Amino acid sequence: MSSAGEQDRTATRDGIVAAPAHVAIIMDGNGRWAAARGLPRLEGHRRGVEALRRTIRASIELGIRYLTVFSFSSENWKRPREEVSDLMGLLKRFIRNDLANLHANEVRVLVLGSRDRLSDDIAGLLSEAENLTRDNTGLTLVVAFNYGSRQEIVAAAASIAHDVAAGRLAPQDVTETLLSERLGTRDIPDPDLVIRTSGEKRLSNFLLWQAAYAEYVFTPTLWPDFDRSTLEAAIAEYRGRDRRYGGLSSRAGAAS
């Protein structure tokens, strides 16, 4: 895991402050977008896929190195069966239609979350996306699918407890670093910036451990309307923050 200093890059390109290394997005508001237009929820989800395509493209252009998107939570199984089926169908179409283009643009795809409850065809497509793009060196697209942060932390703690019980670890060996290494995000840096769309102001069980020192931006924009300008506005707000990581402010004259 990279240090905070390594993640928070301040270089400029063409006079514009560069984007943070890792941006994570809670993509929210598809249903409300559709309802406001008298359209079925599925149409909102379809437009949400288009917003994802725009955001991937903008992330590449802005030099973001890691983009994590919360596409389906472990709690989303509680939604009506028809909507869950629609979401699974959209995921399949996205991978089948976009994987070749992602690969051509050197995007590396990682999937974060449990493969339990997934059908064989969905699980197979996720593995195909990861395997095909494994060696790509451009943007890393992390898709949090069937993901819940509490469940992830519990699984990591259980793994460590098992090793302690077996004598492979001593209790004093358990550190923040060790737990981080047992998470699904062990090979990528923690997020610098977490964006949630639709005006909601909560994390919804997303990257609770990893986002401990992230900056949060809550935008009223519904996810289907999210575009490069919205992303740039969030990055500009992020750049205006004073990131202290528990220490003193680096800004001259700051009181605390």
Catalytic center residues: 28, 76
Contact 110, 142 (CB under 8 A): yes
Length of the chain equals: 256
User: And the tokens for 89?
Assistant: 């169908």
**Which long-range contacts (C-beta less than 8 Å, at least 24 apart) are formed by 85-89?**
86/41, 86/42, 86/45, 87/45, 88/119, 88/122
Instruction: Write out the two tokens for 225.
Output: 């309307």
Q: Give the CA distances from residue 211 to residues 42, 121, 189, 193, 215, in Å, rounded to whole numbers and listed in that order.
A: 30, 32, 10, 8, 8
Tokens of 227: 């575009």
Q: Angle at Cα 8 formed by Cα 7 and Cα 13, nearest 5°? A: 110
Structure tokens given for 32: 């409300």
Tokens linked to 235: 């990055």
For the beta sheet containing 66-73, the strands, ordered from the edge strand earlier in sequence to the opposite edge, are 108-112, 140-147, 66-73, 22-26, 193-196, 215-218
Q: What are phi and psi of 94, to 5 degrees?
A: -60, -45
